[in-house]
Structure 1
Amino acid sequence: MQGHVSQDTPVGVPAALIWDVYRGLELGRLVDKLAPEVLGRVEFLEGDGGVGTIAKLTLPPGTPGRGYMKERFTKIDDENRVKETEVLEGGYKDLGFDVVRIRLEIVEKDSESCMVRSTIEYEGDEKLADVVSHVNVKPLEMMAEIIGKHLCQNKSTH
């Protein structure tokens, strides 16, 4: 069984500006600074923000599962503004999925706005059909809103 969940979040900043944050380590740093109680704490275990980087997200209290998620950056496409990660342990892997990928794509709307398309792809045994409903992109949507708002308020300083 495989499937995906996706959500587009409008953001009032230029695509290039938000991509600069999303493509590397800055996204984790801003999540840590702006919303650790909502999205969790981020630490980088290895890598410099490029493909192969491993990040650990300590999830907020009350999150089901082990309370953390480790992911590896598997794709950073500057031309198409797409970043993909694969969950190594924790998170939705704890529900029993074999593969969990997160794709963040910045889609330009016009010179001053864009959308952050957040997608979670999963693969696993047919027995997981009843847990698929637990897979949601709400935290990624909230992250896009928080980062977008922060960048909007600080546009003049960039």
Structure 2
Amino acid sequence: MFGQLEHELDLNVPASEAWDLFGTLQIGKLVEQELPQLFQKVELTEGDGGVGTVLKLTFSPGVPGPASYKEKFTKVDNEKRIKEAEVVEGGYLELGFSLFRVRFEVIEKGEDSSILKSTIEYEVKEEHAGNASLVSVQPVATIAELAKNYLNRNKTAQQAK
């Protein structure tokens, strides 16, 4: 069984600024610092932020879904501003999923605006189809809102200088 969930959020910053956050490891650091209710830890276990980078995500107690998993960056396209990560160990794979991929795409909208499109793609084995209900767009929506607030704060700080 294959499924896909999407979330879009307008950002009041140029696509290049949004990509400076999402195209690097900076988003992981920000998430760990600013979202302790969602993430207990975001650890870099391998790589430098490019394709092949592996992060271990540990969720805070009480967050629905898996307690932790490792994800690997399978695509980092700086021209198209797309980053994809797939779960490679633990988490959803232990719940009968054969694929769990998160994609962040920064789409240029205008000179000073962009859209952050977040997509979750998953494939779950038929005998575990009930676990598809564990997949939620809420974590990526929360990350998108955090990023928007962070980018807006930085924009305001830059304008004040």
TM-score, normalised to structure 2's length?
0.89
Quick check: 1:76–1:84 contact (8 Å CA) kept in 2?
A: yes
- The two structures, once aligned, show a CA RMSD in angstroms of 1.7
Distance change (3 Å), C-alpha of 1:157 and 1:32: farther
1:122 matched to 2:99: no
Counterpart of 1:12 in structure 2 is: 12
- Partner Cα distance (1:110, 1:91) in 2: 38
Match of 1:76 in 2: 76
> Does residue 92 of structure 1 match 2:68?
no
Secondary structure at the aligned position of 1:17 is classed as helix
Matched, 1:105 2:105: yes
Q: CA deviation at 1:66?
A: 4.5
2:44 maps to: 44
- Could you state the TM-score of these two structures normalised by the residue count of structure 1? 0.91
The CA distance in 2 between the partners of 1:23 and 1:62, in whole Å, is 29
Segments of structure 1 that go 5 or more residues without pairing to the other structure are: none
Distance 2:69 2:153 in 1: 30
| Paired position in structure 2 for 1:146 | 146
In the TM superposition, residue 139 of structure 1 has moved relative to its aligned partner by 0.6
Aligned residues with identical type, % of pairs? 45
Q: Return closer, same or farther for 1:98/1:138 CA change in 2, 3 Å cut-off.
A: same
Q: Distance in 2 between matches of 1:94 and 1:18?
A: 33
Between the aligned partners of 1:30 and 1:145, the Cα distance in structure 2 is 12
Q: CA deviation at 1:148?
A: 1.2
Q: Give the drift of 1:157.
A: 3.6
Can you list the C-alpha shifts for 1:71-119, whole angstroms capped at 9, x where unaligned? 0001001111100011012333232101111111111221222221111
| Equivalences, count | 158
Higher mean C-alpha displacement, 25-34 vs 77-86: 25-34
Single out whichever of 23-32 and 45-54 deviates more from structure 2.
23-32
Residues 39, 143 of structure 1: 8 Å contact kept: no
Range with bigger deviation, 33-42 or 101-110: 33-42
Q: Which runs of 5 or more structure 2 residues have no equivalent in the other structure? A: none
> Aligned letter for 1:151?
L
Secondary structure of the corresponding residue to residue 48 of structure 2? coil
SS at match of 2:97: coil
Please identify runs of 4+ aligned residues in structure 1 that moved more than 4 A. Answer: none
